Amino acid sequence: MFDGTRYASDVTHMAEQMARTRLLTEMARRMLAAGADADQIAIVLLRRTDSPISAIKAVADATGLGLGDAKWVICRNLAPQSREAAERLWDDLLGDLAAP
């Protein structure tokens, strides 16, 4: 059965996430125009959001990097514990893709 309340909540969450990413992208563009490099931008964005995915998208959009390159910029600027967990997850995903 269709749950309209759940659907509305999901749509609201997605809209908020998209708005947050747009704000992060604008922040990143301004920093880039002021001479910041991708790592400096990543550090600031990670302080402003709890979503590394939003930060990756913002860095990619602002700098012109591909999503893969932006992912590495964000990952290397995560707190050590978070970075290690992200690298393990990434390695597991790549291992699963390579498995026959």
- Which residues in the chain show pLDDT less than 50? none
Per-residue pLDDT, 71:
92
Domain ranges of the chain: 4-98
The answer to whether 44 touches 10, Cβ cutoff 8 Å, is no
